[in-house]
Amino acid sequence: MKRRFIGFAGLMLALGCLSCSRAGQLVKVLTDVQKVQAQVAKDTGINNITVNLQNGAYLQIGIVNTSWNDKPTEEKKAKAQEIAKSAYDAYAAKAELRGVSVAFVIQREYLGLFHYSNSTDAYNFDVSGAQAAPAPI
């Protein structure tokens, strides 16, 4: 009986250590993503920015409700590449990234109940390999 208890306690301790390690990884990823958001906001002067990390390899940047939604496509594409470079430069785990996408987003709320979101234009940039900056796909 005592052996079972020691075995069970050892298993619980091992699982506890594993979950602490995963929690530490989660905190690091969230901190890295927050740094990307802060840097992109600083570089663009835009505060309403979303940042998502998908599968640990793809950064998704959303530029929400700005005048950039009304700009011509070529201007948006150039701005998107600047934003992608800013995000890439700010992300600590660059070696793990394979792509950065930048979308210009319209978000609205109606009557406090209905939420509308539309990515008007999205631009994808490849950052895999030995490139120094995001390149259009």
pLDDT beyond 50 at 132? no
Helix 2-44 and helix 73-90: axis angle, to 10°? 140
The answer to whether residue 117 is domain-embedded is: yes
Phi, psi at 113, each rounded to 5° = -115, -35
Q: Mean pLDDT in the chain?
A: 81
Q: What is the mean pLDDT of residues 25-30?
A: 75
Identify the three-state secondary structure at position 70. Answer: helix
> What is the pLDDT confidence band of residue 1, given thresholds at 50, 70 and 90?
very low
Q: Which domain holds residue 100?
A: 32-136
pLDDT at 124 over 90: yes
pTM, entire model? 0.75
CATH number at residue 114: 3.30.70
- pLDDT at 134 (0 to 100): 59
Q: How many domains does the chain have?
A: 1
d(CA 44, CA 79): 9
pLDDT of residue 85: 93
